Amino acid sequence: MNYVEPRGARHRVEIANGSEQLTIPLKRNWFVMLFLPVWLCGWVFGEVSAIVQLSQGFQSFLAVWLCGWTIGGAFAIGMWVGQFGSERLRVVNRDLEVSAGVGPLRRTWLYRGKTIENLMARTPETDLFSMGRNQRPFWMRPRTGAVKFDYGADSIYLATGVDEPEGRMIVDWLTRRLGIEAIR
């Protein structure tokens, strides 16, 4: 009988711009990766059709509809692009910098290290199809993850693409660099 080999961590520690950073691939969903490009083809057809119709004569309902349609498409594009992105954690002068996205399309949040409390690893929440709280455009803060901390009156979640054991590894990495204690 053969042993089951333990899976390695998904995150990796890198040196970028002279400082250490932790890179975690964002949570991927095959349904989103395959369905959204097909859906976006139809979305483009609707967008172009509405723009052509508006260029032939202004219609207030169509203009309002086009605004909503465009916002919906932007969210869908953001979700699809996020399937190929990563989350980066860096500690700079005892402050935590978190960014998510792909290449230059990244959103960055900066948290004061002295304000971070109750840092812990946890089991990320999932739903039946991993569509609810896990899937979001990359520019929105995650609402679940394997790492959680309190920041004032907010709960901040990180590491959406990993499980709790790897979350504990990330918490250990953060506590050493932030100089704070984690909740076990």
Taking the chain (184 residues) in consecutive chunks of 10 residues, what is each chunk's mean pLDDT? 92 88 89 94 96 94 96 92 92 93 92 96 72 68 92 94 93 93 82
Neighbours of 82 (CB within 10 A): 26
Phi-psi region of 56 (alpha: psi -120 to 50; beta: other; left: phi over 0): alpha
pTM, whole model, 2 decimals?
Answer: 0.82
